[in-house]
Amino acid sequence: MVRYLEVVSQPMDVVRSSLPNADLLELEGIDQTEKGIVLRVQSKETPRCPACSSSEVTYHSTYVRHLRDLPWQGRPVQIQLKARRFRCRNRQCKRKIFAESSLGVVTRKARATNRFAQSLRMIGYVLGGRPASRLLERLGMKASRDTILRRVQKPSAPETETKVRVLGVDDWAWRKHQKYGTMLMDLEQRHVIDLLPVRSATSFADWLRQHPGVQIIARDRCGLYAEGGRKGAPSAVQVTDRYHLMTNLSEAVEHTLQELQIEARAALAQEASPKSCKRLTLVEARYHRCRQARYERYMAVMELGQQGYTQLQIAEKVSVGAETVARWLHAPGFPERCIRSDRRRDPARVLQDEERGLQPALTRTHFSSARVTALLLTPPRELSVTQLRYRDSFLRFCPTAYNVRRLALQFRAMLRWRRSVRLSEWIEKAVGSKFSFLAQFGRTLRRDLRAVELAMTAPWSNGPLEGHINRLKMIKRQMYGRAGFALLKARVLPLSA
Ligand SMILES: [Zn+2]
């Protein structure tokens, strides 16, 4: 007998325990309908007047609320909640009639349980409107994308504002080179705290005034945030962000290497004897033919331009794209074609080898500056054999790069080991060097010296913030750029319950 009871009561217990708030609700029955499963449920709370919290109440009436709940095995579930109304018998109380509260299960006037609404919001937050709508339909929680997006954007209950002590600030692009916004992050708690639709010193300063208590601001080296920080939180210490320092350094190194490569190729071409230039290789001859034809087109464009034709007319006459016409008309001189290919052998080198009676050597004279930069800035023990070979063949081709590498590694070591003692010395060395881009980098460091020194010694970096900016880009692209600011912000800020 006992055994039989156990078997029968178990499934009902399981159903009871799966109700949104098992302590508050009592299960009356289960129905299976075409649309799904219906759970008939009633509150077992002792009624209390919400105004005077008196329990002296009498029954008034009953009404039924139909609430969507989480599905069972992909089948939709509806909760039919029988809610009662009561009269308050306290004479002093202004409230005459009140309905049972169903705190924790559903909010007032809602047509779905809280846990259903939260799941909808969470899935919408992660996936965005339309993909979430598709997934939810398969799960048995059909909802339109508008409903989902409305849920995602719905402001959550105001949290007790935690004070930010260490603030990271950086910009993100609405549209590159055109329009930027600002992202703010709590670097201690490691979460995004706000998103501003614009990038300006005033908006950042205003934000800081509204959120006092910021002690450290980690920013890039763009002057806007520095100025905003000085205005909005004059007492805060500003730290240049290590991530940007490293990025700026690699950019400077990359440009320097580009310059050095061009110089090295020019030197090589000069070495090749001018006599041999009479016998052009096929490749060289084709190159010259193409260049000549391009030069003639360029001259025709310039002539028509001086005669006062519009850019479109010139484009039609010379059969050149309108954009090219515009570029040529504004160029200071005949723009030589850039060699894009990394693998093409330098004609000068081939000629030189032929003259010496050698087989044309397969030495490279074009290297990807970005790749070489990355290899030069990485400690050798972390490089693979192929990478080392690539790096060494570059250094053989362009030995001046050894000096660039030494400078860059010294800077990197200062960042790595958090030592700023030799910073000024390094800056002087860079500024005095013959590498114009590194010198420029050194000069900008000198202008912002205090913040750069702190960047080396302080533990704060905007690396996590950059990660969130990448996430923002992904969200923006997922929504094909149609996301308004409110929705973008809702999906970038952390989801609160
Ligand atoms: Zn009352």
Q: Looking at residues 284-290, what average pLDDT do you find?
A: 79
CA 323, chain centre distance (Å)? 32
What pLDDT is attached to residue 74?
A: 84
Whole-number Å distance, alpha carbon 106 to ligand 1 midpoint, is 22
Whole-number Å distance, alpha carbon 145 to ligand 1 midpoint, is 42
Q: Where are the alpha helices (DSSP H) in 95-128?
A: 114-127
- 77 φ, ψ to 5°? -125, 135
pLDDT digits (tens, 9 = 90+) for 349-362: 666 666 665 555 45
**Cβ-Cβ contacts under 8 Å for 35 (sequence gap 6 or more):** 76, 78
CA atoms within 13 A on the CB side of 273: 7
* Cβ count near 232 (within 10 Å): 23
Whole-number Å distance, alpha carbon 55 to ligand 1 midpoint, is 8
How far, in Å, CA of 413 to CA of 423, rounded? 11
How far, in Å, CA of 497 to CA of 490, rounded? 13
Whole-number Å distance, alpha carbon 59 to ligand 1 midpoint, is 14
Whole-number Å distance, alpha carbon 110 to ligand 1 midpoint, is 24
What pLDDT is attached to residue 422?
A: 85
| Poorest-pLDDT segment among 202-206, 274-278, 346-350, 356-360 | 274-278
Whole-number Å distance, alpha carbon 61 to ligand 1 midpoint, is 17
Closest CA to 43 of 14, 19, 60: 19
Whole-number Å distance, alpha carbon 19 to ligand 1 midpoint, is 30
What pLDDT is attached to residue 342?
A: 45
Whole-number Å distance, alpha carbon 438 to ligand 1 midpoint, is 77
Whole-number Å distance, alpha carbon 52 to ligand 1 midpoint, is 4
What pLDDT is attached to residue 472?
A: 92
Whole-number Å distance, alpha carbon 88 to ligand 1 midpoint, is 5
How far, in Å, CA of 444 to CA of 440, rounded? 6
What pLDDT is attached to residue 1?
A: 47
CB 218 within 8 A of CB 169: yes
Whole-number Å distance, alpha carbon 389 to ligand 1 midpoint, is 85
Amino acid in the structure at residue 149: L
pLDDT at 32 over 60: yes
Tell me, what DSSP letter sits at residue 365? -
Whole-number Å distance, alpha carbon 58 to ligand 1 midpoint, is 11
pLDDT at 334 over 70: yes
Whole-number Å distance, alpha carbon 43 to ligand 1 midpoint, is 20
Whole-number Å distance, alpha carbon 190 to ligand 1 midpoint, is 47
Q: Looking at residues 166-170, what average pLDDT do you find?
A: 92
What pLDDT is attached to residue 364?
A: 66
Whole-number Å distance, alpha carbon 62 to ligand 1 midpoint, is 19
Whole-number Å distance, alpha carbon 175 to ligand 1 midpoint, is 58
pLDDT digits (tens, 9 = 90+) for 383-411: 888 888 888 888 888 888 899 999 999 99
Q: Looking at residues 452-473, what average pLDDT do you find?
A: 87
The residue whose two tokens read 């520095």 is 226
Whole-number Å distance, alpha carbon 323 to ligand 1 midpoint, is 78
Whole-number Å distance, alpha carbon 60 to ligand 1 midpoint, is 14
CB 198 within 8 A of CB 181: yes
Whole-number Å distance, alpha carbon 48 to ligand 1 midpoint, is 8
Whole-number Å distance, alpha carbon 57 to ligand 1 midpoint, is 8
**Cβ-Cβ contacts under 8 Å for 163 (sequence gap 6 or more):** 211, 213
Whole-number Å distance, alpha carbon 63 to ligand 1 midpoint, is 20
Tell me, what DSSP letter sits at residue 381? G
Whole-number Å distance, alpha carbon 99 to ligand 1 midpoint, is 12
pLDDT at 315 over 50: yes
The residue whose two tokens read 């990271």 is 168
Q: Which CATH class is domain 166-241+461-492?
A: alpha beta
pLDDT digits (tens, 9 = 90+) for 243-255: 888 888 999 999 9
How far, in Å, CA of 258 to CA of 272, rounded? 22
Domain ranges of the chain: 2-112, 114-157, 166-241+461-492, 243-270+284-457
Whole-number Å distance, alpha carbon 98 to ligand 1 midpoint, is 9
What pLDDT is attached to residue 348?
A: 63
Whole-number Å distance, alpha carbon 84 to ligand 1 midpoint, is 16
- Using alpha carbons only, what angle is made at residue 152 by residues 150 and 158, rounded to the nearest 5 degrees? 105
Whole-number Å distance, alpha carbon 54 to ligand 1 midpoint, is 6
Q: Looking at residues 436-453, what average pLDDT do you find?
A: 87
What pLDDT is attached to residue 354?
A: 64
pLDDT class of 5 with cuts at 50, 70, 90: very low
Q: Tell me what the pLDDT averaged over the chain comes to.
A: 84
Whole-number Å distance, alpha carbon 89 to ligand 1 midpoint, is 7
Whole-number Å distance, alpha carbon 46 to ligand 1 midpoint, is 14
Whole-number Å distance, alpha carbon 365 to ligand 1 midpoint, is 89
Whole-number Å distance, alpha carbon 50 to ligand 1 midpoint, is 7
Whole-number Å distance, alpha carbon 49 to ligand 1 midpoint, is 5
Question: Which has the higher per-residue pLDDT, 476 or 282?
Answer: 476
**In sequence order, what DSSP letters do the residues of 144-178 get, joined into one string?**
-HHHHHHHHHSPPPPPPPPPPSEEEEEEEEEETTT
CB 113 within 8 A of CB 68: yes
How far, in Å, CA of 344 to CA of 488, rounded? 45
Question: Which has the higher per-residue pLDDT, 257 or 349?
Answer: 257
How far, in Å, CA of 465 to CA of 172, rounded? 10
Whole-number Å distance, alpha carbon 87 to ligand 1 midpoint, is 8
Whole-number Å distance, alpha carbon 85 to ligand 1 midpoint, is 13
Of all residues in the chain, the percent with pLDDT exceeding 90 is 20
Whole-number Å distance, alpha carbon 262 to ligand 1 midpoint, is 87
pLDDT digits (tens, 9 = 90+) for 154-163: 876 666 667 8
- Tokens matching residue 312: 């479109």
Whole-number Å distance, alpha carbon 133 to ligand 1 midpoint, is 44
| Poorest-pLDDT segment among 99-108, 313-322, 469-478 | 99-108
User: CA end-to-end span of the chain, whole Å?
Assistant: 46
Whole-number Å distance, alpha carbon 103 to ligand 1 midpoint, is 18
pLDDT digits (tens, 9 = 90+) for 52-94: 888 888 999 998 999 999 998 888 999 998 888 999 988 888 8
What pLDDT is attached to residue 271?
A: 67
pLDDT at 222 over 80: no
Whole-number Å distance, alpha carbon 470 to ligand 1 midpoint, is 54
Of all residues in the chain, the percent with pLDDT exceeding 70 is 88
How far, in Å, CA of 205 to CA of 227, rounded? 8
